[in-house]
Chains A and B, each alone.
Chain A
């Protein structure tokens, strides 16, 4: 492509960061590295320089043969990239539902007092902090992610944190983890765990420890069963996707296994960004080898030669541990050519996200959804047949292979087989990640987490995250299964279970939900781009309780906005952008103009 670049040049540091990723520039080379390295290259500059300058963008464009306007559009899409100068250290303060309950607004007030108003994403500003959507740390709220750009860039998740810790982090020279709780999961003492059996018990950076605790038994067995054998067991297991859509895993796998077009890709979606969801993070941080093994099994069954793990940019520890696991697996013949001495070859790459709700950025484009059909199993990554599975879905695979699909199907209910991870957060005594058989009642799950604190009563539970819906104290007998929740007009979604007691103001919850969807909309389609803005405006009008009798009209308007977004948006974000708010309006009914705090 004939690139027309401005005269702005990259600095030595920016060039170094890009070259470390792409290799030194060779102007004689006939072909450039792939465009899919655009986001990694932008992230490399961001973490070296703290922002992406015009010179750096030009250099990346030249190296990757991408037009600067195009790359600018991509860079401006992702929240963790900045196109204007930023201080080297930045604190991203979670302002989502649960952190809000645990004092994130007070934290923000104090930071504002000490550091000035927050920087706005993609606007000029030199304040070293900005607000952020859910960071996936709801069991240890309030959470702050601190990044420090430099030769050795650092990222640190600060949990159950306070203003002085955050100030020390952004003003200090390097990031050191503050003393905090090291509680992995509340069910640590339980024997019957499956997905969580190694969490908190093994050294997550040791392959031999993983093997000592049952690791790498499924992969050899899968090689013995053959691809058809594995597919058969997965089909028998009845496993449904755990990312939120509950699609039968075997059907995806079979479609890709049978697809004639080559190459086949396997993508693990580790970009969980649904507020209230942190299950994939725990699995990645505490049992990363299990994912690497599960992906090898999946690739074997579906004929995938190459895999990607698209991991949230907000999960530095998970990315670090997964990288160690991949390297160790590769060094020991569990990834690469001739895996375990067989003909089977598979390798995987880790790609970090940069703060977007949807995972379509692996190819180096804006994180906008594609129109389906064609579905990814036919035309996915690089337009090739692609299996896309969530971390938790894949984590079920080794047991299915080892014990057989039948044994798996005997757990849970008839239509919702196996166990499920639930992310308990908010007003419960023991927040954290819980594993229970599907079909366990909501009440039983809440009891495990110790229910609401002494002297308070349960107000509502937001099931499935921002895309889910509110249920109430009368729903404690609700079986947490796909069919049980569907029958009750709700869904398990991503497994988020956010609990609110009577000290919580539902108005604030709904306004935050509306703001979340406005901020996360990618802007591609009209119903979501404008609908999420209008939803927030009308909701504010209703909840401000302005004089006049407009409320009924506005409620009707909100319901029409909701229907249009659900029916006409391109992707799941827009389609569910009104779900929780509509259920909240129905539940909390006639909200007082000025709610209790």
Chain B
């Protein structure tokens, strides 16, 4: 983003303090520039906000309901509260709703919010209450590269957008169904190899909860050998073509266990293709 000229600055009030912010900022950008932390789940820098998770809600004076900080643009004279009673209640409930219906065990960020806002998902059902509805379902393993564990899906729309017009333009997956039955799916729930999927893995790259995960990581977690404390990260450049994508190789016990690209990298924006994302098995092939 270009530095704002003074004439394009406007004044807003954030948690009782008046601040000048560039007029094109969202409330989230304004808060971050002021050092105010606003929680986010579905939002990802570089992607159009889906405004679906509603964890980033803040209170704007004059607005009947809370507003999503990730997508609402600042307006002159806006008076914003980011930590009022109403805001905290909404955030706590969003986390209760998610934690009581989705497996968040691979989403440390979400777990931190559960604690921060004092969410008590057990209120919806515990030992002496009927079990609440959840999105629990069998893991989908239909290819050698990545698995879909939709019991962990919070429907943040990131994967759909990354597969679609925000990055890959492949449109292999979409939100299907409706209401609590809404889920990420291919057409007619076909296996990924029969779909339009090109296995770029950009959906894994943006998934915040481990619902889309490298098969290697999924298997190591399942057999208990995944151990991030024993992992190192090595930054390199993808060797396959001339684009020059930044690669971060995650290595455990001298084996590459997954590959990512930094979200803020100017070339990739965090996105890769099938070769950069998955094409490293040969490095550790037994027949090498």
Report A's interface with B, CB cutoff 8 A: 1, 3-4, 6, 54, 57, 67-73, 76-77, 83, 122, 366, 371, 373, 518-527, 529-534, 537-538, 541, 548, 550, 553, 557, 560-561, 563-564, 566-570, 575
Contact = CB atoms under 8 A, between A and B. Distances in A.
A553 B123 CA distance: 9
Contact of B54 (A70, A76, A527, A560): A527
Contact of B171 (A1, A534, A567): A1
A533 B132 CA distance: 9
Nearest to B175: A73
Contact of B65 (A4, A83, A567): A567
A526 B94 contact: yes
Given A57-B187, A69-B185, A530 B101 contact: yes
A537 B179 contact: no
Interface in B117-134: 123-125, 128-130, 132-133
Interface in B156-184: 164, 169-182
Contacts of B181: 122, 523
Interface stretch (B188-196, B206-214, B275-283): B188-196
A568 B66 contact: yes
Interface residues of B, number: 55
A570 B72 CA distance: 12
Given A6-B190, A575-B65, A522 B123 contact: no
* For the complex of A and B, 6 pairs with smallest distance between CB atoms: A523-B182, A67-B171, A73-B174, A564-B93, A530-B97, A68-B187
B182 A525 contact: no
8 contacts: A4-B172, A69-B174, A73-B185, A122-B181, A526-B98, A550-B129, A568-B57, A575-B65
A537 B125 contact: yes
A561 B93 contact: yes
A378 B23 CA distance: 18
With most chain B CB atoms within 10 A of its CB, the pick from A523, A531, A532 is A523
A534 B154 CA distance: 16
A76 B176 contact: yes
Contacts of A3: 196
Contacts of B52: 524-526, 570
Contact of B130 (A527, A541, A561): A541
A568 B188 CA distance: 32
A117 B179 CA distance: 23
B29 interface: no
A54 B187 contact: yes
A541 B124 CA distance: 10
Nearest to A123: B181
A373 B65 CA distance: 13
Contact of A569 (B54, B130, B177, B186): B54
A184 B98 CA distance: 48
Given A520-B179, A526-B98, 17 more contacts: A3-B196, A67-B171, A69-B171, A69-B187, A70-B164, A71-B187, A72-B186, A73-B175, A73-B185, A122-B177, A371-B68, A523-B182, A526-B97, A527-B54, A529-B180, A537-B133, A570-B52
B155 A4 contact: no
A534 B97 contact: yes
B89 interface: yes
B123 A557 contact: yes
A548 B123 CA distance: 15
B176 A73 contact: yes
B90 interface: yes
A73 B171 CA distance: 11
Given A6-B190, A537-B130, A564 B89 contact: yes
Given A568-B54, A568-B66, A72 B155 contact: no
B142 to A, nearest CB: 15
Given A68-B196, A371-B68, A520-B179, A83 B188 contact: yes
B54 A69 contact: no
A561 B92 CA distance: 10
